[in-house]
Amino acid sequence: MSKKIRVRFAPSPTGGLHLGGVRTVLYNYLFAKKHCGDFIVRIEDTDQTRYVEGAEDYIFKCLEWCGLQPDESVLHGGAYAPYRQSERKDMYRQYAEQLVKDGHAYYAFDTPEEIEQMRELLKEKGSHNLQYDHNIRGNMNNSLRLLPEETQKLLDAGTPHVIRIKIEPDEFVHLSDMIRGDISFDTNIVDDKVLLKADGMPTYHLAVVVDDHLMKISHAFRGEEWLPSAPVHVLLWKHLFGLDAMPQWAHLPLILKPDGNGKLSKRDGDRLGFPVYAMDWTDPKTGDITKGFKEIGFLPEAFNNLLAVLGWNDGTEQEIFSLEDLIEKFSIEKVHKGGAKFDFEKAKWYNHEWIKKLPASHYADRVKIIFANKGIIITDDNYFNAVLELVKDRCTLLTDFYEQSAYFFESPGTLDVDAVKPKWSAQKSEFFSEYIIALRSLEVWDMANIEAAFKELAAAKNIKPGELQLPMRIMLVGGKFGPAVFSIAALIGKEETISRVQEALLLLNAD
Ligand code: GLU
């Protein structure tokens, strides 16, 4: 019987959720759903110095917004709880002790000052390698150098200590990565990482391996930045649980800055004027807000879509994928090895496509909030949806709806008279005065009738309808934009249309 597919996203609650993090979630989620497996979110908070208040809550809110709900997590529960590593603290020591017993790890009593001294000494000797590793561990205050009785004495006395993995030099550690194929690591450049800290907390390295084992994780997908840690994890798997039990790894390519090389950072976003976090993140210490994709007006459908294709495609020309499509078509083996450059203009293109594709009612509630913040309270949902439908082709971000359609809810504050004035004439003024009368007598107020009356009168007066359409638009909208002018009149209604034309006539005929 093949193993049940179980994948995990294992964030450390240290701040805002970078779009690379959401893409990792997405790939995990898609893989789990495709294979009828479980998607687990495990909070890796063993490094209390990096812990940031509110970050965990925020991560779950982001996943909720993206519609990537975990099957098991701190919030959702599950058979392998607890899902927060700080609450699993007592589980890890036994594995670290086991490694010491088997000769794969050792107690190290060095104080931070002693380690610093060692580094200074190495620097003086001109060494560039300042790691705690096989080169220097023989000179340090640890159980490899001390006699067993001495070690025992220190332990009995409660001397603060850590447990470090003992990396054997001159070996190669192999890893078969689902994206990168076989990778081997030279142990000579791997340091003796701390596994258990002086406060009894495991480090990430020990906790990730123990928890992946205890939670029966079958596949572990994470960012490429974790590749240097992979040999330590493979060795821990080998020593603790056997390589056959190890999950299959995939290290996902980085999302790169649009200009130049290197990982896209929050700073790049600030510099180039786009968000890199999924949602607004408020720094609990400074109160500073970093903008998120959600708040600047992205749809989750578009966000998932654009993230999915940053580093993956299905080999066809298809660009627009729903979550269902992605579940069907995604395959981790097709994820690219190389990093993908982030392109904000392309990201907006995806949003525009999704705004057009989805019924406006799908996102109307969010747009309503944007309007409310601008002082327009929506009371008629049907009218609101009809307006959004009419203008959605013109909107790239949800926030664009305000500019594109505020005139449906209040008459335009200022009219772009300059666009009309140069070609304004008594004849045109007369046309609009008579058009008001024609509109008043329309029995059925719809686009076809409004347009027919317009064309009929224009023909009778021998004016090209094309010359009258711009003034009509300016009268109703205020500017040279918006959908078909008769569709606007149809929606805003007879009274409002007539009153806007009348007011504009007063203005245009003023001098
Ligand atoms: N806790 C790690 C992080 O902050 C997760 C690495 C992994 O998935 O193994 O990203």
Average pLDDT for 283-287: 95
Report residue 466 as tokens: 């094309």
The set of residues, in sequence order, having a beta carbon less than 8 Å from that of 160 and lying 6+ positions away, is 109, 111, 198
Do 201 and 218 fall within a single domain? no
Residue 1 above 60 pLDDT?
no
Query: Do residues 120 and 193 both lie within one domain?
Result: yes
Q: Are residues 104 and 42 in the same domain?
A: no
- Is 430 part of any domain? yes
The answer on 478 and 428 residing in a single domain is yes
Rounded to an integer, the average pLDDT of 332-343 is 95
Indicate whether 278 belongs to any domain. Answer: no
**Do 130 and 162 belong together in one domain?**
yes
Mean pLDDT across the chain:
96
- 396-413 average pLDDT score: 96
Contact status, residue 135 vs residue 129, Cβ threshold 8 Å: yes
Which structural domain, as residue segments, surrounds residue 493? 417-509
Query: Which atom of ligand 1 is the closest one to the Cα of 8?
Result: 8
Please indicate, yes or no, if residue 293 is contained in any of the structural domains: no
d(CA 337, CA 253): 6
Give the span between the Cα atoms of 209 and 195, in whole angstroms. 11
Separation of CA 402 and ligand 1 centre (Å) = 40
Q: Which of 254, 288, 321 is the last residue of a domain?
A: 254
Tell me, yes or no, whether 100 and 168 share the same domain. yes
- pLDDT average, residue stretch 269-298: 96
Q: Are residues 106 and 203 in the same domain?
A: yes
Q: How confident is the model at residue 2 (pLDDT cuts 50, 70, 90)?
A: low
Ligand 1 pocket, mutate which of 222, 234, 237 (most atoms under 8 A from CB):
222
Domain harbouring 423, CATH code: 1.10.10.350
C-beta 12 within 6 A of ligand 1: yes
Nearest-atom number in ligand 1 for the CA of 9 is 8
Residues 489 and 479 in one domain: yes
Q: Please determine, for residue 117, whether its predicted confidence score (pLDDT) is greater than 90.
A: yes
**322: in domain:** no
Residue of 6, 9, 12 to test ligand 1 pocket, by largest number of atoms within 8 Å of CB:
12
Residues 238 and 158 placed together within one structural domain of the fold = no
Q: Could you tell me if 217 and 201 lie in one domain?
A: no
pTM of the model: 0.94
- Residues 6+ positions from 228 with CB-CB distance below 8 Å: none
Domain boundary among 194, 221, 254: 254
Residue 65 located in a structural domain: yes
Kindly list the catalytic residues: 266
Mean pLDDT over residues 441-470, rounded?
97
The answer to whether position 185 is within a domain reads yes
Write down the pLDDT at residue 178: 97
Asked if residue 61 is part of any domain, the answer here is yes
User: For residues 295 and 418, what is the distance between their CA atoms, to the nearest angstrom?
Assistant: 35
CATH code of the domain covering residue 216: 3.40.50.620
Domain ends where: 147, 174, 208?
208
| Residues 215 and 204 reside in one and the same domain | no
* Domains contained in the chain, number: 3
SS3 277: strand
**CATH classification at residue 154:** 3.90.800.10
Angle at alpha carbon of residue 292, lines to 291 and 293, rounded to 5°: 135
- For residue range 41-88, list pLDDT tens digits in order: 999 999 988 899 999 999 999 999 999 999 999 999 999 999 999 999
Asked if residue 167 belongs to a domain, the reply is yes
